[in-house]
Structure formats: structure tokens, C-alpha cells
Amino acid sequence: MSIDTTVPGGELLAQLAAGEFSATDLVQAHLDRIAGPGAVLNAFTLVDADGALTAAKEVDRARAAGEPLGPLAGLPISVKDSVDVAGLRSTHGRLSDAYVATVDAPAVRRLREAGCVVLGKTNLPVYLSGHESANETFGRTLNPWDLQRSSGGSSGGASAAVAGGLAVADLGSDLAGSLRMPAAWCGLSGHRPSNGVVSKLGNLPWPPGGLLEPQVSAIGPITRTAADAAAFFAAMAGPEGPEAVGWRLELPPARATALAGVRVGVWLDDEACPVDAETRSAITGLADALERAGAVVAEFTDPPVAGHADLELFCRLQAGEVVHGFDEERFAEHVAAAAAGSGFSRAVTATHRQVLADWEAQRAAMARWARRFEDVDVVLAPAVPRTATRYGEDVDAAALVSWNRLTSIGKLPSTVLALGPGAESGLPVGVQVLGPYLEDHTPLTFAVLAEAAGLAGWKAPAPWT
């Protein structure tokens, strides 16, 4: 039986429901692709074939017995190596402090409860830091669109697996674009949730067993389409831990259910955030198409965050989060480096008073965003300012994540929308659709509508397949 593993998850669900093939067939097709043509991508660090087939057979048994099924029942997914899957090894790009997880991370548990089947774990850079998912232990992950190029970081194994038809979806953690960059570079969709909507516990380099939810980063799905991103997000979202006793998640409905009349801001200019001509052209092309479809499109001026000062604020916020994952030896190294003048080391060893001052500044930025979203429903901004880099290419790594650093300050939801191959490079270009804090359904629905109207969407990486 021939199964096309590169189609969107929604299509595969329909085929499963129609009995065109079983969940076991679908999982086996993915395992065959991982071991066959997908092997060249080096997306996986570990494949749990036996566990996946056992889970798929249980879905088939439940379906045959007429038992209730989860909304994603039978869909094979991969999981970023830093995210805990019970019984499988967790790493952040090295084996020296790897461990076998005893419980699923909350996001993984929720996806399993929705019926997903875990195929294995996917590659990333050491400490989840970098725009290339390569490390000495597991090697280099390749972009299915061009095997000489990076699939992004830090969720580059995830994006290569989904784009290459090796998994229907994966999880992307995102502090400074670790979901958004890989999705854009591999022609995918995905959703970085509003902070706190999806639990990020059980994700290295956070301390194993850590109970605190991070202040700046988030975790969400990497998928082929926005419709898939919405479905996976719905399965992942919800309170965890002590808060779940009394809190319920009731996100507002989307502000618009049609493109006509939706208010769109286009944000392409910031003194500290360059954008190349190809990316700019693709985003302005989408804006023009939206205007023809009846959307109210305007340049997004007076943004709530901007320039080098806010980028520096983000870097301090980032440092205040990542330091929680440092062991004593690594922290001592930064204490010494701070004394020698290292700016990043000074940030990770900052006083509690400075950290609280930065959190206050972040809340003030969130308030400014709320006021600006009185005038617009969504904002289009670069997910990454250029197409995928070649391995070994000399590039300003900070510039690659500058837009994501700015937009992460406000804890905003961001849906990545694939705009197709760029006019010059022929490589995928992506845009991030920003929505108001805790209004995740607004950018997700907007992206789904844009795909349905043919203005954007998934295209399989034909050069590789």
C-alpha cells in the first residue's frame, strides 16, 4: 500500500476515518520513510519503532471496537530531543547529561491523550542554541529543500522531519525563534502560543523535574499547515500543575472569521532588524493579496517594541531564564566571565533586583501591545529575515533572530505561515502572524483563512522528494 506521508495531517485523519488504511499502516509508512529516503536528512536522534507500532495497533483496536478516539488518533509525530517522552532518552544535543525520562512532558502527554503516536526524538544544537541543528554527538540535520542548507534551530530536526514527510508534526520550543525560524526555513506552519497557554515543563535545558514555568519561552506545534497547527494547539493547550485545580483556559474566539474586513498591520522596518529584499517582497505580496481579498491593510507604525534598547531588554530576559538550566560548574564559569567583562555573563549573574526590573519592563511592553491591538487584529512580521543559510556560511546569527526577540517580549501568540518559494532563491519564505496576548485563535484563524484562499500554504520540497 502506498501512503503519501507528505500530505497535511487533516487529510490523513480523513483517510484513517474512511478506512483507506489503518493507523498501523500509517505508522509503518513513516518508519519506512525515516529509514529509507529520509535517512539522508539525519532528523532523528532516536526512533522507537516498537513503541510506535504498539501504540498504533491500540488505536486500530479502539477504532474497530467503536470506542471513543482522540481528535488526532493515529497521527504519527516526532518529538524534539529536549522534550521528555516517558521511556526515551532526553538530551540537549549531547550525551554527558542525558537521561531517560520517566514521565511525558505535559505537552507530549496531551498529544498522546489526543491519539498521537510518538515515532522518536529529533535533533537540535547543544543547549538549544544556534541556527543550525548540528552537534558532535548526532551530527548535522539537513534541510529537505536543499541538502546543503540548515533546517534551522533549535527545532531543526523537528522541521526537517515534518517537511520531509517523516512525521506529521513535532514540537518546537521557542525562546528567540526556535520554532519560527525552522518552520519558515522548511516551508512549514506552526504556532508559538501565548506564554503560559501550553506548559513548557519537561524540556531541557530546564532542570530535570523543574516545576517553574519559564517567563519568556513557549512550546508549540510545527506542522505542514495552519489548520494542522490549530488542531495540535487545541490538543496541547490547558493549565497544568497546581493551577489546574482552579484555573480553566477560555481563550477568546478569533476576532475575524473572514479575510474581508480583518485589520492587518504590516511591520517590516526596524533599525535593529534587517530584512532582505526577497523576504520583504514575499510579505508585501501577501499584504497586497489580502487587500484584494477585502482586508484592511496598513503599515504598522509606532510599534510597542523597537530597536537596540528592546533587543537588549530581551537578551536580559533570555539570560534570566536560561541561567536556571546551568549546573554549578557552568554558572561559576559565567561568574568569572562576568568579572572579566562579558555582557551575557553579566546578564546571567544579574541581581534579583535587575531581573524584577526587567520583568516590569516586559509587562509595560505587554500593555503597549494591548493598546496597539485596539487598532489592528493581526500584525505581519518576518519570521526570519532571510531564507535558509548554507552550512559553513558566515552569517550574523543575532540578526537571524532579531525579529523573534522583539516579538517575544510581549508574550504574543505567533502563527507561522508558509509563503512558498522565494522569487530569487527558490527556498521557502515564511511570515509570522502576531496576535494579541491570549488571543491565539486570532492569528491561527487568520492563517487558516489565508491558506484556504490560496494566498499561502504547504508545498512539499520537490527538489528532495
Bridge-based pairing of strands 218-223 and 296-299 is unpaired
Whole-angstrom distance, CA of residue 81 vs CA of residue 311: 28
Using CA atoms of 380, 383, 384, 388 in order, give the dihedral in degrees to the nearest 10.
-120
d(CA 463, CA 459): 11
Kindly state the cell numbers that stand for 236: 496541547
Q: What is the C-alpha separation between 406 and 272, in angstroms, rounded?
A: 10
Q: Which residues contact 431 (CB under 8 A, 6 or more apart)?
A: 184, 282, 283, 286, 380, 381, 382, 383, 416, 417, 419, 456
- Distance between CA 454 and CA 35 in Å, rounded? 34
DSSP letter for 40, please. Answer: G
Residues acting as catalytic residues:
80, 154, 178
Strands 263-266 and 296-299 turn out to be parallel
| H helices present in 65-206, as ranges | 106-113, 156-163, 180-185
Which residue shows C-alpha cell 555573563? 345
